[in-house]
Structure 1
């Protein structure tokens, strides 16, 4: 009698990534993954202790892909910007996994590579060592939030996006000027969240780096 196939860790992660692309981290389960692979959950628990550990491994592979071939270039701000854009682009290819990174922090090789580059760039900025951990934390929280927000928009279908735009136009252009005077005043200039998200990502990141640069000058 032939036994069930033994799946490698990499094959399990491949299947998990595909399942996550079709859904999200909330609907994902080890039981569903086992069903896709034609095995039982217990066989997967030999590789990963629980769902969270599995999700962290999937997210780490995205970070590892983001760092593939990366070579630090330019000053510290250029290095951080390049790093952030690499991470954004990597999750842009698999947007359903962006929330996994923000929710389930990875401790794998990909995560360590991202951390190392960010910390090295911050040290190159001239910040005192004692300030770097806190600055690093704020920077990564910002990047993770921006990546998740941009990825969230990209998972919408064309119909869902257009419906959202129409609801936005109705809500903004139809705002009662007595109750919402500022909104009514800026109605034709205010843009929806999905508009020009890429430029907003870079502008917000640049503003944060400028804030760090100003702090360095005050030292």
Structure 2
């Protein structure tokens, strides 16, 4: 019988564990895994490098700094969002559907919406492609160039904020905490002097109602954009004989 094999000699390079070949994709995937398990605060260059079994210095050949890494994570997550081709007859529905998809994806990965809010002007290829496709829908609706650009920024901010809030509300105990806070406000309004905070006092009974504030806000945004759109006389009318 052959004797048990000897352990590898640690001073020989061939005896060391084989590291995975570093790539930008591997770094971003590892960062997203770290985000899912430990939260955004844990996603640093040093901790990602530790997870990969290397030093932080080796990551800088692929990523400039932590801010860029976070932006690349956002890019990777939003790359999963399907964007329709612009349809002038259904641009409002397309815009609403796209906004819902963006918000849902951002809410599904706690921390990603925060990156979206903290990134002043995204410059990654995926984000530029997403913005280009969104602008195509806005232009198909008859918006001017200035209105389309501003609308793109506003919708990006609204979906990021919506994703952030929905992520918070989906966390454990969020519903109970929200109910407790609303009750606390109601109790306080009962003891404020007459005439103070009149609108809050009058609307207090409605605070606990179940309303989809996100959907209402999105409708207001899109309806407001539609009011500024310039009708295209060459656009086909599906109801025309």
TM-score w.r.t. the length of structure 2 is 0.76
Note if 1:113 corresponds to 2:129.
yes
Asked if the contact 1:15–1:37 (Cα under 8 Å) also holds between the matched residues in 2, the reply is yes
| Aligned position for 1:184 | 201
Q: 2:226 aligns with which of 203, 213, 217?
A: 213
Matching of residues 32-181 of structure 1 within 5 Å: 32-67=47-82, 70-72=83-85, 75-104=90-119, 105-154=121-170, 156-158=171-173, 160-175=174-189, 176-178=191-193, 179-181=196-198
Is the contact made by 2:182 and 2:207 (CA closer than 8 Å) also made in structure 1?
no
- Distance of 2:116 and 2:146 partners within structure 1: 27
> Secondary structure of the residue that 1:65 maps to in structure 2?
coil
Kept in 2: contact 1:21–1:94 (CA 8 A):
yes
Q: Which runs of 5+ in 1 are unaligned?
A: none
CA distance in 1 between partners of 2:208 and 2:34 (Å): 33
Which is richer in helix?
1
- RMSD of aligned C-alpha atoms? 2.6
Which structure's CA Rg is the greater one? 2
The number of residue pairs the alignment matches comes to 211
1:26 Cα offset (Å)? 4.1
- Give the gaps of 5 or more residues in structure 2: 1-12, 233-241
Q: Give, in whole Å, the separation in 2 of the partners of 1:91 and 1:128.
A: 28
**1:204 — aligned with what?**
217
Paired with 1:144 and 1:36, the residues of 2 have a C-alpha distance of 28
